[in-house]
Chains A and B, each alone.
Chain A
Amino acid sequence: MLSFARFVLVRAVMAMITLVIVSLVVFSLMELVPGDCAERYLAFKNTQGSGISVADIEAERQRLGLDKPFLQRWGTWIVNAFQGEFGDSCILRVNIAQLLGSKFWLSLGVCLASLALAYLIAIPVGIISAASNNAFLNNSLRLVSYLGLAMPNFLLALLIMLVSTIWFGETLTGLFSKEFRDAPWGWPKFVDLIKHAWLPIFILGWSATAFALQTVRALMSDEIGKLYVTAAAARGVHGRRLLWRYPAKHALGPIINSLGFDLNRIFNELPIVALILTLTEAGALLIEALARSNDQQLAGAIIFLLTASIVTLNFVTDVALAIIDPRVRKSIMR
């Protein structure tokens, strides 16, 4: 038990170190964007009609601390980042933590819910379809899977919106109804969120499920063919016990392993769905910051939060894997 606690601690420290390294990469990338925050802001001002001089830029640079050496600025940034403080947006001049507000957590929530939906469906269905030799069942599943993989999310989103607008007169956009948008958090707001969020969750979950289904099925088919399953059958183990206790249990490890990767993929798909459903969420903000306004501070903050979520999820799956698989557990306890 003690060695397990030590393992968890070591993994947590490693996750932290990963985050620090990631932050260095993110921060360096932010620096690589031509120009800096001071120039960008004043250039923006310039387009608004106010005249600027080189001296103005220098003064702004000093005010923002951009004249300090790279490593020192990174240090300040990372220390603040770990406290959830990302400074001001370059263009909008508002605090990033406030600007992001609950948007990031909403996005993460939608992604995690899609991930959960995907595996809640994929694990039982994938396992049963791998175990069954019913050709009709397997072929229909394959068809649905390929549809899910082949049909782009935005197309599905558009289709659903089209149908709902034409037949039900509802637009189904946004994450909140108007009256709740700026309301404080509470039960009614949460219910309102669920009423809206099911659609992006469903759309993101759709392709994620198709993907997960293929993974689970392949892993499971692989396990079912292994000798230990035949050997268990030869000992008289049969029925559900033979399926769940033997191959299913062993197929679970690689599935858990792939969760972090899946979260990343879903998050990448979120912005385009968000665009169509006009959700104001972090993915859309990231695209805005990266592609349009070149707001390096804002983009860096979102990327950092996203990687932090993935690193955290990987930490959780590592621990979960050690709990279910003795080979992993024993290898770390020596």
Chain B
Amino acid sequence: MSLIDVENLTLQFRTDEGLITAVDNVSFSLNKGEVMGLVGESGSGKSVTAKSLMHLNARNAVYSPESRITLHSDAGPVDVLSLKKPADLQIVRGGAISMIFQEPMASFAPAITIGKQMVEQLQLHSDMSKSQAKALSVEMLDRVGISDAAKRFDQYAFELSGGMRQRAMIAMALSTKPKLLIADEPTTALDVTIQAQVIDLMKDLVDEFHMGIIFITHDLGVVAQTADKVAVMYLGRLVEEGPVREVIRNPKHPYTQGLLAALPKLDDLDAPLTPVPGDIPSPLERPSGCVFHTRCAQIVGDVCRAQLPVADQVDDTHSVACHIYSGGAA
């Protein structure tokens, strides 16, 4: 059953240099209890896409009229992008959707205790009393493996270690029992050992709470461990999407292939890493045609420079947007 549907999401930012396209015609959907990895380099538009689900982008964001995001909540479908009033937005902000951020330190207000921020959120989204909200918060802190939860409740973010902060962030995000959790590079700022703990914790919680997760990362290794399916983004375009095993074993798009080749291999440590050549272009100079053609090693002809590839189905669940696979190109 579908949890959230994103259709033709196109998002531009109004800036002094003109309109900058951050997301270009992206569509995907996520089912209940499903984990999706959203993968791409910095600047690929993955965070912006995720923030759109909560209608949380900066004030200069412009959505195209065709863009549609539908959240299937318990109370029926919600057209996210049409929500205007703060009270209506509550459902996608902390209600049915929660988000955890890359920097657990920076995402807690430094001069407010963790407990107060948790209680505030619970009281915004339910009719709990303060003491009920506190009891639940302490329980959640305990649930994510924070020792001495009652004491941590009254502490500030700066008094906790990095891993503990991210656990507290997860506890806070899950306390309102959201249907969808957006995790924006939740492990990037953590030590590798802590990373594994946090990933395990998140996997347990998905099973327990049965929610959907969108896992934003640039690390395909993390995606392979956690996700059911993966969507690869490049310069605001969705270039490949499919079940995680299928995409990792049988990547179709040259960019996905490049990302996989760039990962170090534990069984052959002497093998040189092959980075994707070049840098992601400035959003001010979007390439014509296929946005990846400036860095692509497998250009099939002028069609790559002139024409935007459309998504082709490799099979039922796996799709790729590349001229190599579209009929006329070869």
Interface residues of A (CB under 8 A from B): 133, 226-239, 245-246, 249-250, 253, 324-327, 330
A residues less than 8 Å from B108 (CB atoms): 228, 231
B residues less than 8 Å from A324 (CB atoms): 111
The answer to whether B111 and A235 touch across the interface, beta carbons within 8 angstroms, is no
Q: A133-B59, A228-B109 are in contact. Are A236 and B156 (CB under 8 A)?
A: no
- Encoded as 1 (CB less than 8 Å from any A CB) or 0, chain B from 116 to 142 comes to 010011001100000000000000000
Contact residues, B97-116 vs A (CB, 8 A) = 98-99, 101, 103, 106-113
B residues less than 8 Å from A233 (CB atoms): 56, 93
B111's contact among A229, A236, A239, A326, by CB below 8 Å, is which? A326
B residues less than 8 Å from A230 (CB atoms): 56, 101, 107
The answer to whether A234 and B111 touch across the interface, beta carbons within 8 angstroms, is no
Question: Within the assembled complex, what's the spacing in Å between the Cα atoms of A226 and B107?
Answer: 8
The answer to whether A227 and B101 touch across the interface, beta carbons within 8 angstroms, is yes
The answer to whether B110 and A234 touch across the interface, beta carbons within 8 angstroms, is no
The answer to whether B156 and A326 touch across the interface, beta carbons within 8 angstroms, is yes
Question: Within the assembled complex, what's the spacing in Å between the Cα atoms of A227 and B102?
Answer: 10
A residues less than 8 Å from B94 (CB atoms): 234-236
Question: Within the assembled complex, what's the spacing in Å between the Cα atoms of A229 and B120?
Answer: 14
B residues less than 8 Å from A228 (CB atoms): 106-110
Question: Closest residue of chain B to A328, judged by CB?
Answer: B111
The answer to whether A234 and B159 touch across the interface, beta carbons within 8 angstroms, is no
- Encoded as 1 (CB less than 8 Å from any A CB) or 0, chain B from 82 to 103 comes to 0000110110011100110101
Q: Which of A235, A325, A326 has the most CB of B within 10 A?
A: A235
Question: Within the assembled complex, what's the spacing in Å between the Cα atoms of A145 and B56?
Answer: 32
Q: Which of A229, A231, A250, A253 has the most CB of B within 10 A?
A: A231
Question: Closest residue of chain B to A226, judged by CB?
Answer: B106
Question: Closest residue of chain A to B109, judged by CB?
Answer: A228
A residues less than 8 Å from B38 (CB atoms): none
Asked if B28 lies at the interface with its beta carbon under 8 angstroms from chain A, I say no
The answer to whether B101 and A231 touch across the interface, beta carbons within 8 angstroms, is yes
B residues less than 8 Å from A326 (CB atoms): 110-111, 113, 156
Question: Within the assembled complex, what's the spacing in Å between the Cα atoms of A219 and B250?
Answer: 51
Q: In angstroms, how far is the closest chain B Cβ from the Cβ of A87? A: 48
B residues less than 8 Å from A237 (CB atoms): 120-121, 124
The answer to whether A238 and B112 touch across the interface, beta carbons within 8 angstroms, is no
The answer to whether A235 and B98 touch across the interface, beta carbons within 8 angstroms, is yes
Question: Within the assembled complex, what's the spacing in Å between the Cα atoms of A232 and B106?
Answer: 11
Question: Within the assembled complex, what's the spacing in Å between the Cα atoms of A21 and B120?
Answer: 48
Q: In angstroms, how far is the closest chain B Cβ from the Cβ of A55? A: 69
Question: Closest residue of chain B to A250, judged by CB?
Answer: B111
The answer to whether B125 and A234 touch across the interface, beta carbons within 8 angstroms, is no
Question: Within the assembled complex, what's the spacing in Å between the Cα atoms of A249 and B95?
Answer: 25
The answer to whether A236 and B89 touch across the interface, beta carbons within 8 angstroms, is yes
Question: Within the assembled complex, what's the spacing in Å between the Cα atoms of A229 and B106?
Answer: 9
A residues less than 8 Å from B120 (CB atoms): 235, 237
The answer to whether B86 and A330 touch across the interface, beta carbons within 8 angstroms, is no
A330's contact among B98, B106, B124, B156, by CB below 8 Å, is which? B156
Q: A133-B59, A234-B93, A330-B159 are in contact. Are A249 and B99 (CB under 8 A)?
A: no
Question: Closest residue of chain A to B158, judged by CB?
Answer: A327
- Encoded as 1 (CB less than 8 Å from any A CB) or 0, chain B from 22 to 37 comes to 0000000000000000
Question: Within the assembled complex, what's the spacing in Å between the Cα atoms of A237 and B117?
Answer: 10
Total residues of chain B contacting the partner, CB 8 A: 31
Q: In angstroms, how far is the closest chain A Cβ from the Cβ of B54? A: 6
A residues less than 8 Å from B101 (CB atoms): 227, 230-231
A residues less than 8 Å from B158 (CB atoms): 327, 330
Q: In angstroms, how far is the closest chain A Cβ from the Cβ of B35? A: 20
A residues less than 8 Å from B124 (CB atoms): 235-237
A residues less than 8 Å from B59 (CB atoms): 133
B residues less than 8 Å from A330 (CB atoms): 156, 158-159
The answer to whether B86 and A238 touch across the interface, beta carbons within 8 angstroms, is yes
Question: Within the assembled complex, what's the spacing in Å between the Cα atoms of A246 and B243?
Answer: 41
5 contacts between A and B (CB under 8 A): A230-B101, A235-B121, A235-B172, A327-B110, A330-B156
Question: Within the assembled complex, what's the spacing in Å between the Cα atoms of A249 and B106?
Answer: 16
Q: In angstroms, how far is the closest chain A Cβ from the Cβ of B117? A: 8
| Shortest Cβ-Cβ A-B pairs, 7 listed | A238-B86, A236-B94, A231-B107, A235-B94, A227-B106, A236-B93, A235-B121
Question: Closest residue of chain A to B118, judged by CB?
Answer: A235
Contact residues, B193-209 vs A (CB, 8 A) = none
Q: In angstroms, how far is the closest chain A Cβ from the Cβ of B130? A: 16
What would 20 more interface pairs be, CB under 8 Å, given A227-B106, A235-B121, A330-B159? A227-B107, A228-B106, A230-B56, A230-B101, A231-B101, A231-B107, A232-B117, A234-B54, A234-B56, A234-B99, A235-B98, A235-B117, A237-B121, A237-B124, A238-B86, A245-B112, A246-B109, A249-B111, A327-B111, A327-B156
Q: In angstroms, how far is the closest chain A Cβ from the Cβ of B15? A: 14
Question: Within the assembled complex, what's the spacing in Å between the Cα atoms of A234 and B117?
Answer: 12
Question: Within the assembled complex, what's the spacing in Å between the Cα atoms of A133 and B103?
Answer: 27
Q: In angstroms, how far is the closest chain A Cβ from the Cβ of B267? A: 38
A residues less than 8 Å from B86 (CB atoms): 238-239
B residues less than 8 Å from A325 (CB atoms): 111
A residues less than 8 Å from B113 (CB atoms): 326
The answer to whether A227 and B103 touch across the interface, beta carbons within 8 angstroms, is yes
- Encoded as 1 (CB less than 8 Å from any A CB) or 0, chain B from 155 to 171 comes to 01011000000000000
Question: Within the assembled complex, what's the spacing in Å between the Cα atoms of A228 and B103?
Answer: 9
Q: In angstroms, how far is the closest chain A Cβ from the Cβ of B131? A: 20
Question: Within the assembled complex, what's the spacing in Å between the Cα atoms of A235 and B86?
Answer: 11
Q: Which of B59, B94, B109, B112 has the most CB of A within 10 A?
A: B109
A residues less than 8 Å from B89 (CB atoms): 236, 238
A236's contact among B95, B103, B106, B112, by CB below 8 Å, is which? B95
Q: In angstroms, how far is the closest chain B Cβ from the Cβ of A247? A: 9
Question: Within the assembled complex, what's the spacing in Å between the Cα atoms of A253 and B109?
Answer: 14
